[in-house]
Structure 1
């Protein structure tokens, strides 16, 4: 499962870039995320009905509704973040996105301390500082050397000669990592607070809100961008790669919910860190990207920071 998740995370940004046409994402991010949330909702509903003993009545529905309200907050955060993740791709290459996404480790760790009340040892704080400056060095170095004309179209295939970051990409990735960390920690807190509750039911609460939010956004965008009623098409711009994103993210989301409830966000961060290898590999062979020196510096920094953060110091074990 972990290997699949690493592949799913690592291929996400590459697949989104493969959906680009003339520097524009061809599909509606809200529509894609609606399908992802809806498919996860259908799976959870089916699993809950088949595996759980259900006694439906008015009191039960009222109880479920009250419980579900807690899940609206992470659903809103995921709604914003999942759509933002698509549009960020326009402003940086896949590998840059994956490198900077490691800031999730920083935001998640800080929020873990604030929300979950988990203390960090000095070694872990040092690792976070190392991670921050590694990412900062990469951002400034790559941004300084970006021409912002890094994509060329060759036989309908995108070719990126160099790694690049558009100025707007930096604040977008900061917002993305902050919301991602907050959503991840919050959903873990809820799942474990109601640990005895069925995971399938908890997923139903979360995915119902996510489906509803993305559906409203998808319909609104479709009506806004369509010139006539005849041009209304919810799946406009969808390609093979878009559906591949849908399938991988549906499976990834369902697996991650199990990991977060019965383990922790640490596994999620492990997946995010090591998915960089997949992204770099795919970027090199698909887009022919030439990795700059900042990539290698950042890569080593991430590995060191990750090792320091998740390896307890000798003194802490005494």
Structure 2
């Protein structure tokens, strides 16, 4: 995603994030629908179930409309966040959804969290804060480097201009030379805005926490196929996505077209985002939502490694400290709290 959103616009025209989110839902819809037919194994039965849950029980379908709308907005915010944060910082900060998930678990599902779990969530906040401080320091260093480079370029241009004036007295030629000199400044370089990225990802975390718990409640309240639920979710998200495009980017679509900036890299980002959403839905169905959120923390290592290989973004010591803090928390939650919780649940069943 980050590679797709931060390429040089003079070489790769920027794509519309709202359109990318729309195609995310298109991919989810057809993937879920195909898998639903394959798993059902009987086309007639599959059509009957679609008729029942899409039309006969239409109010049941509308319940899915709430998370559908939320996920469309959330996905758009994630594109904004990944454009303004390096991959490692993005992944670490996005783990704040663990906190929002826990809060909505208490509020919506009425579950009680242990003292150890609340302490772990507070520790999580400190880990994310450390990483954010690292991101802001990196941004300031980049700004200082850019200012230094710009000053050097201006001084060189002024020196060239002075030499030209000494050798030429024609003012008209001097004017042309000045404009030519200014046009030789370096081409576009993507500058991150960690504040915008941070705000976007915080809102996305809140939306993710609420939508995840709300969807968990729907999925576990009846025996409707997860692939049929995903089909419903994507089906309702498609018109919502079109509405968001119309509100946010209708003028850009009118001028440069719906598919502007789309190439193989963008399609790969869309595909990975869509399939990742389906995997999350499976985990919500068959595992606890908080466990799902902690499980994704492992991807921090992969994202940081990819960021080094693709963008040469080497993590600072502050970032490494924050990431290790979070991974240590993951280890503690996985091997102590969650394991202990599972043992207690088994004892209650017996």
TM-score category by the smaller chain?
0.7 to 0.9
Q: Give the TM-score taking structure 1 as reference length.
A: 0.81
Q: Does residue 123 of structure 1 match 2:116?
A: yes
Contact kept? 2:54, 2:232, Cα under 8 Å? no
Deviation at 1:85, TM superposition (A): 0.6
Contact kept? 2:134, 2:319, Cα under 8 Å? no
The corresponding residue for 2:127 is: 134
For residues 137-158 of structure 1, give each alpha carbon's deviation from its aligned partner in whole angstroms, at most 9, with x where no partner exists: 2223432452264998xx9997
SS of 1:298's equivalent?
Answer: helix
The corresponding residue for 2:231 is: 204
The corresponding residue for 2:93 is: 100
The corresponding residue for 1:294 is: 318
Larger Rg: 2
The Cα RMSD (Å) is 3.2
The corresponding residue for 1:272 is: 296
2:305, 2:279 → 1: CA distance?
24
Deviation at 1:73, TM superposition (A): 0.8
Q: 2:19 aligned to 31, 38, 51, which one? A: 31
Contact kept? 1:19, 1:241, Cα under 8 Å? no
Contact kept? 1:18, 1:241, Cα under 8 Å? no
Q: Does residue 218 of structure 1 match 2:245?
A: yes
Contact kept? 1:142, 1:165, Cα under 8 Å? no
Distance verdict in 2 for CA 1:190–1:275, change over 3 Å: same
For residues 213-253 of structure 1, give each alpha carbon's deviation from its aligned partner in whole angstroms, at most 9, with x where no partner exists: 1122235555311565xx4x211011221111122223222
Contact kept? 2:98, 2:294, Cα under 8 Å? no
1:133, 1:252 → 2: CA distance?
27
Deviation at 1:123, TM superposition (A): 1.5
The corresponding residue for 1:180 is: 208
Q: Unaligned 5+ residue runs, structure 2?
A: 147-185, 345-350
Q: Does residue 247 of structure 1 match 2:271?
A: yes
The corresponding residue for 1:84 is: 77
Q: Unaligned 5+ residue runs, structure 1?
A: 1-11
Q: Give the TM-score taking structure 2 as reference length.
A: 0.74
Contact kept? 2:33, 2:231, Cα under 8 Å? yes
Counting matched residue pairs gives: 297
Q: Runs of at least 4 residues of structure 1 off by over 6 A?
A: 56-60, 155-160, 314-318
Single out whichever of 174-183 and 25-34 deviates more from structure 2: 25-34
